[in-house]
Amino acid sequence: MHTASSEASTPSVTAKSRNLRWRVVDIVVASVIGVATGLLFLFWNNVGYAWFSAADALTPGLGGVAVGIWLIGGVLGGLIIRKPGAALFVELLAAIVSALIGNQWGIETIYSGLAQGLGAELVFALLAYRRFGLLPAMLAGAAAGAAAWTLELFVSGNLAKSAEFLGLYFATVVISGALLAGLLGWLIVRGLAATGALSRFAAGQDVAQRV
Amino acid sequence: MSAGGGVLPAGGDHAASGALDPFAAHRSRRPARFLSALNPIAKLAAPLPVMVLVMFSRGIAVPLAFVVFAAAVLLVGARLPGRAVAALLLGTPVAALVLGVTFGVWIDPSSVTGEPAASVTLVSIGDWSFSLAAYLVGLATALRILAILLLSLIAGVTSTGPEFVRSMVQNLRVPYRLGYTALAALRFVPRFGHELEIIRAAHRVRGTDAGRGPVAAVRRALGYAVPLLASAIRHAERVALAMDARAFGAHPTRTERYRSPWRARDTVFVACFLAASAVIAWLTWGR
C-alpha cells in the first residue's frame, strides 16, 4: 500500500524539480547519515558479529543472516538523498568511521564499504534515480549483499571454501541484505519522514504530499 | 590506530584538545621517519598493486615474503610505539598459525587429496580428519590476509584522516565540497554520543521498558535509531545553512590551509616499492 503510493508520487515530484546536482545540504546530511551509520556499525560489530559467529558455528555459511545491518548505509543514503553517488558515499563513510574508531577488521572495513556501497548504488543507477519505493530498497540491499559476498571471495579467502558454503553464504547474505538493509532501511526512512526531519528532501516531501 | 585518537577526540574533552588548532598537536608530535614525510596517496597507491598480486597468489611463499617485506617497511619507515612493534613481531606469526587452523578446517578435503601432504593427518575426530595439506592451504589463506593487512597499515599508521582527505582533494581532484564536508561530519561523532544520552534519558523518563535480554537490546537500539537520525539530520541542516551562509562551495576552487604536494620523494618511494615488490614476486612466485 505504502509502496504503491510512494512509488506513484515519485515521478511527479522528480519531474517537477529533478536536480541531480548535490546541494550543500545534501552533502552535509549524507555525511551525517554516514557517520551515524558508522556508529550503528560499531554497535553491530559486537552484537551482529556475535550473531554471525553463532549462526556460522551452527552451519558454516549461515552467518550471512546477520550481515544485513552492515549494508544499510547504501540503502539509507540512496533513499534519502536520491542523488547519484549517495548510496556509495554514505556506505563508504560509515565504513571509514567504523574503521577509524576501531573494529576487529581494521582498514579492510573500507574496502568492504566500497564494495557494498557500489552494489547498492548500481541498483539505484539502473533505476535512473527515479524509483525509491520498498522494492528498489530491497533490491539495493540484496545487491549490496551480493557485492559484499564477491569481495569476501578474495579478501576473506572464501574462494578456497567449498561450493556448499559459498552457495549458502550467498543466499543468506542476499536475503539478509534485502530484509535487514532494504526493508529496515525503508522503514527507517519512512519513520524519519514522519518526524518531519526530511522536509527539505524529496523523501520527506513524498510523505507530506500523501496526507 | 593512533590517528583515530587525534581525529576524533573522545567524549567531552574535545573542547580542550581542539582549543587552538586541532591539527597542530599531531603535526609537531611526529618526529620524521621517511613514511611520515610522504604524501598519503603515495603510501596508498604503492601497496595497492601488490595487494592485488597477493590476493591472486597461491601457496605460502609469496604472501609470506610480502608479510616480511611490509613489516620491514613499517619497522624502518614508521616510528611505532613499543606495543605496536611487539604486536607486529609476535602477533603476526601467532595470528598466521591460528588463522591457518580456522581457515584450514573449512577447506573442502576432496580439493587437496592429490597433494603428498594430504596423507599426513594432524587431528582426526570420527571419520573427519584434518590433514597437513588442508592446514597448509589454510595457512596460505591466513598469510594472504595478513600480507594485505600489513600492506594497508603502511598508509594506515603513518597518516591521519585529515591528511588523507587533504591529499584526496588536492592530488586526486576529489571535489572539495565532498571531502571537507565529510571531514566536518567526522567531528559530529562526539555530538552523537551526547545526543544518544539525551534520547536514552528521554526514554527512561517516559518509563519505556523493552525488557531484558538480547532481543530487547536489539529492539531498544532500533528505538534509538530513528530519533538519533532525526536529530542528526536537523543538526546537519543547521550546519548546511551555516556553510551556505559562508558561501562554502560557491567557487570551483578554494584556498588551502595546509599544502599536500606530490614531491619527487613520493615518486621515488612508489618506484622503489614497486621495484622491490616485483623482485620479491619474481623470486617467490610458484614456489
Q: Rounded mean pLDDT of B223-237?
A: 86
Residue B243 lies in a domain: yes
Give yes or no for a contact between B234 and A200, defined as CB atoms under 8 angstroms apart: no
Residue B25 lies in a domain: no
pLDDT at residue B225 greater than cutoff 60: yes
Q: Is the pTM of this model over 0.80?
A: no
Q: What is the ipTM of this complex?
A: 0.73
The end-to-end CA distance of chain A, in Å, is 14
- Grid coordinates 567504523 are at which residue? A98
- What are A61-96's pLDDT values in tens digits? 888 888 999 999 999 999 999 999 999 999 998 998
Taking CA–CA distances from B228, the nearest residue in chain A reads: A36
Residue B167 lies in a domain: yes
Chain B contacts of A198, Cβ < 8 Å?
233
Which of B186, B196, B254 to substitute to test the interface with A, most A CBs within 10 Å? B186
Contact B106 A162 (CB under 8 A): yes
Check residues A115 and B192 and name the one with the higher pLDDT. Answer: A115
Give the lowest-confidence range in A33-37, B102-106, B151-155, B272-276. Answer: B102-106
Among B155, B182, B248, beta carbon nearest to A31:
B182
- Mean pLDDT, chain A, rounded, equals 84
pLDDT at B29: 52
B172 and B154 within one domain? no
Cα→Cα distances A17→A20, A83, A202, B126, Å: 9, 13, 10, 68
Contact B186 A106 (CB under 8 A): no
CA distance B174 to chain A (A): 12
B190 and B76 within one domain? no
B225 and B272 within one domain? no
Interchain CB contacts (distance < 8 Å): A and B: 142
pLDDT at residue B149 greater than cutoff 90: no
pLDDT at residue B5 greater than cutoff 50: no
Which of A21, A25, A31, A159 to substitute to test the interface with B, most B CBs within 10 Å? A31
Residue B12 lies in a domain: no
pLDDT at residue B6 greater than cutoff 90: no
B208 and B111 within one domain? no
Nearest to B6 by CA among B152, B191, B155, B159: B159
pLDDT at B1: 37
B192 and B168 within one domain? yes
Chain B segment 179-238 residues within 8 A of A by beta carbon are 181-182, 184-186, 188-189, 192, 214, 217-218, 221, 225-237
pLDDT at B8: 40
Contact B3 A100 (CB under 8 A): yes
pLDDT at B283: 92
pLDDT at A149: 93
Residue B153 lies in a domain: yes
B264 and B154 within one domain? yes
- What are B125-148's pLDDT values in tens digits? 776 777 788 888 888 888 988 898
Chain A contacts of B106, Cβ < 8 Å?
60, 161-162, 165
- What are B197-210's pLDDT values in tens digits? 999 899 889 887 77
Residue B29 lies in a domain: no
Find the domain containing B52 and state its range: 35-159+260-287
Contact residues, chain A to chain B, C-beta under 8 Å = 22-25, 27-29, 31-36, 39-40, 43, 47, 60, 89, 93, 96-97, 100-102, 106-108, 154-157, 160-163, 165, 188, 191-192, 195, 197-198, 200
- What are A190-205's pLDDT values in tens digits? 988 888 888 888 888 8
- Grid coordinates 599531531 are at which residue? B26
Q: Rounded mean pLDDT of B20-48?
A: 72
B147 and B39 within one domain? yes
pLDDT at B81: 85
B220 and B98 within one domain? no
Question: Cα(B34)–Cα(A153) distance, rounded to whole angstroms?
Answer: 35
Q: Is A82 left (phi over 0), alpha (psi -120 to 50) or beta?
A: left
Give yes or no for a contact between B53 and B281, defined as CB atoms under 8 angstroms apart: yes
Contact A39 B192 (CB under 8 A): yes
Please spell the DSSP secondary structure of chain A, one letter per residue.
-HHHHHHHHHHHHHHHS---SPPHHHHHHHHHHHHHHHHHHHHHHHHHHHHHHHHHHHSTTGGGGGGGGGGHHHHHHHHHH-STTHHHHHHHHHHHHHHHH--TTTTHHHHHHHHHHHHHHHHHHHTTT---SHHHHHHHHHHHHHHHHHHHHHHT-GGGB-HHHHHHHHHHHHHHIIIIIIIHHHHHHHHHHHHTTTTTSHHHHHHHHH-
Taking CA–CA distances from A160, the nearest residue in chain B reads: B107
Residue B95 lies in a domain: yes
pLDDT at B13: 40
* Number of domains making up chain B: 2
Give yes or no for a contact between B93 and B147, defined as CB atoms under 8 angstroms apart: no
Residue B230 lies in a domain: yes
B117 and B49 within one domain? yes
Chain A contacts of B213, Cβ < 8 Å?
none
B173 and B89 within one domain? no
Contact A160 B144 (CB under 8 A): no
B155 and B49 within one domain? yes
B166 and B155 within one domain? no
Chain B contacts of A89, Cβ < 8 Å?
178, 182
